[in-house]
Amino acid sequence: MPVLEPTEGRRLTALGSTYTTKADGAATGGAYWLVEEEFWGDSTPLHTHTGAEEAFYVVSGRAGVWMDGAETEAGPGAFLLVPRGTPHALRRLGDDAVRMLTVVSPAGMEHFFEAVVRAGEEELLADPERLVALAAEHGTEIVGDYPG
């Protein structure tokens, strides 16, 4: 079993977060994708994952989490479980990035962020319909902006 040091792992930056992969689908037989996520963007859109659960453990920083029709504040030590098909969104509270250990099961969502990098994030953000279509190809339905 490989041991990764704190700064090791494949890194990519897309849509307001930097992801350092600790274990991808190739390493886990498709079971899950485990990343250290640094969320420095303002917010994510409201979205669902049609075929995956997502879980976050907040290491540092504070985030507002929209789920089940309400916002909850999540700070260091908070754990969030997002069942598949559940509309959810995050927004950064305060000036500091939110560092989280994020697990997506089964693996595969990493391919969406790789596709965003390949297509060019600025071009996708300038053409929201193209971004929505790309997300749908990878099992994510963008429902709208961060609520409220």
Domains (range + CATH), the chain: 11-107 (2.60.120.10)
DSSP bridge partners of 74: 63
Q: pLDDT (tens digit, 9 = 90+) per residue, 63-109?
A: 999 999 999 999 999 999 999 999 999 999 999 999 999 999 999 99
Instruction: Write the CB contacts of 133 (distance below 8 Å, at least 6 apart in sequence).
Output: none
For the question of whether the overall pTM of this predicted structure is more than 0.95, the answer is no
Could you give the CA distance from residue 13 to residue 8 in angstroms, rounded to a whole number? Answer: 15
Could you give the CA distance from residue 40 to residue 134 in angstroms, rounded to a whole number? Answer: 22
